[in-house]
Amino acid sequence: MPRPNPLLRFFRQYEGPRIHKWIHYFEIYHRHFARFRDEPVTILEFGVNQGGSLRMWQHYFHDDSKIVGVDIDERCRQFEGGNVSIEIGDQEDREFLRMLAEKHGPFDVVIEDGGHQMGQQIASFEEIYPAMSEDGCFLIEDLHTSYWPGYGGGLLREGTFIEYAKRLSDQLNAWHSKQDDFVVDRFTETTRSMHFYDSVIVFERGAMTKPRARKRGYDSFNVNDGQGREPAG
């Protein structure tokens, strides 16, 4: 029988400042964040809101972890204390994002739950992802806004984070390109995997080198000794 998800258990028992989450997110969080729980890590969350999710991350991750919350609302400064730092700024401001990376990075876990506008999401990813630890995990949620016109979205609309991520899934496979204009880049070399879920994409980092294929065993269709084996040569 599977062990209970500690994040979902915390949420169901929680009575503090508001946490607002789609329920299926809890499985995704635990699937990708569980490996970071046993030692201190640095967590960056865009979108402090009422401060409840900061309490959830404090409960979930190691007590000595560093948690940085980012919001545009000055009132969120009240949630600073203990292992939680608060930075106030616009996540579409690339200078602000670079300051975050220089001051607090490298980040092991990033939860992007900020303003949900396309420019905010793309700027945050482009500036923060390279500033993460080698095996870090970047999770961006509420990507249903890529389909909502009020946020700059729409099905197959150019400039949404979903369309941006589709191109990154090609870049993940650039090792296999036969085209001169489609080459391996830094993203290809530092990204182990991408995981697409309803409204969520998770990027898992890792140092990557060109994939290699090897063969083992004999060729079943090239039989020379009557016993299904090729002679040693």
* Side chain identity at residue 10, one-letter code: F
* Side chain identity at residue 174, one-letter code: A
Sheet holding 42-46, edge to edge: 84-88, 66-71, 42-46, 107-112, 132-140, 200-205, 191-197
Percentage helix, strand, coil, to 5, in the chain?
A: 40, 20, 45
Tell me the C-alpha distance between 141 and 149, whole Å. 17
Tell me the C-alpha distance between 74 and 113, whole Å. 17
Tell me the C-alpha distance between 20 and 15, whole Å. 12
Q: Which of 20, 24, 116, 144 is catalytic?
A: 116
Based on the residue annotation, tell me whether 20 is a catalytic residue of this protein.
no
Tell me the C-alpha distance between 75 and 51, whole Å. 10
Residues labelled catalytic? 116
